[in-house]
Each structure stands twice: as C-alpha cells, then as structure tokens.
Amino acid sequence: MGIVTALRIIPRTPEAPLQRVGGAVEEAAIDAALVERVQAGERLAFDLLVRKYQHRIVALIQRFVPDWHEAQDVAQEAFIKAYRALPNFRGDSAFYTWMYKIAVNTAKNFLVSQSRRPPTDDVLTEDAERVEGPRMSEAATPDNEYLRQEVERTVLAAVEELPEDIRQALTLREIDGLSYEEISEVMNCPIGTVRSRIFRGRDAVDKRLRPLLQG
C-alpha cells in the first residue's frame, strides 16, 4: 500500500486498538517507534500512521477547506509532505503536533493557490458550538430546546469575540484534544502562556453563560 493511495482506500471504520493503547506517554512511544521504522525504510509503518491520524487530519483541514473532496486531496498532500520530511524528523515534538503544523500550512497554501482567502482563525461555527459541549448537553433536554439554542448562540458569540490567540489555544485544547505541551509547540509560546490563554478563554465563555443558565 503506497502513501499516495492510503487515504483513498482505507475505509472509515472504528478506530483500531493502536489508537487507544493507553495514555499520552504510550501514544507518543507508539508513534516514535513507527517513525523510527519509517526512517529505517519500512513504508508500511507510515501507512499505520496514516490510518491512525487520517480522519483527525481531514477534520482539521476542513476548518480551512470545507469541501470534503478537496480536504481529502489536501490531507493526502500533507501526508506526502510529512513522509518526505520524516528523515529529518528528530522527535523534538510529538508526531501529531508535527503533522498538525504540516496539515495547517498545507491547507493555507492550498487556499492561496486557489486565490481563496485563508480564515483569520482556526475556529469554525461547529467547533465553537462544541467548546462547552458537556454543559450544553446538560441544558439540551427535550423539554428545553429553546435554552439549548440560546446556550449554543451564547457560546458561539463568546468564542467569536475572543482574541485570536486565545481562541486558537482554546480550540486546540477543547476541540483537538492537544496537551498543553503540544499546544505550546504549535503556537510557539511557553506552556504558562498556553495555560493562561485557555483559562481566559474558558472564563470568558463561562461569564457569558452564567446569567443564561442561572436564569
């Protein structure tokens, strides 16, 4: 199986056990081992990395390129770039963090090549509506559909009003599930800054929601 066709022929099936073998440390160890195998010339190991991350990468790219077919093409290009760059990958960051950067840059370059304007932030409406997912789920009862809609609108408005750096940090944490260390690498800032931005983002959303939920 070649990397060029991997995205096209792998079916959308439930995640393999490889993806849930434990915590972040185990995941990082698995990825590092696969990277080492790729660097040793075992291309099948890269196919495993594609299987593991393809759907997350496509979902990420669709924030910039909403069309699913275009997003597939961009994701494929991103994985090809990653494969070609892997010989120089030294493991200074987690593989997904490194892949995340490549995917975002590839998506933005695609939009530029199509004379389409890249988004000014990394959050789309559907992501913003999910930032406070658990809380919205609690409010979204069959007897209170109006409140659910109000909560969604309030969360969306609160997220849209956040400064771009805070909005991006909050999205990377709440939507993409990146660790503080990974966000620090993606945003090129200290972990303390990441924690501060996420705290400020959550606090801003909480303050907007509190009167609505208390009412």
User: The CATH number of 125-214 is which of 3.90.1150.10, 1.10.10.10, 3.20.20.105, 1.10.10.60?
Assistant: 1.10.10.10
Burial of 6 (0-12, 13-18, 19+ CB in 10 A): buried
Digit-coded pLDDT (tens) for 43-80: 888 988 998 888 889 888 988 888 888 998 999 999 99
Q: What percent of the chain has pLDDT over 70?
A: 71
Distance CA 25, CA 18 (A): 13
Mean pLDDT computed over 166-173: 85
Distance CA 53, CA 19 (A): 9
Where does the pLDDT of residue 106 fall: very low under 50, low under 70, confident under 90, or very high at 90 and above?
Answer: very high
pLDDT tens string 107-140: 999 998 877 665 544 444 344 334 444 444 444 4
DSSP three-state, residue 176 = coil
Residue ranges covered by each domain of the chain: 3-113, 125-214
Whether the pTM exceeds 0.75: the reply is no
As a whole number of angstroms, the distance between CA 199 and CA 5 comes to 41
Q: For the domain bounded by 3-113, which CATH number is listed? A: 1.10.1740.10
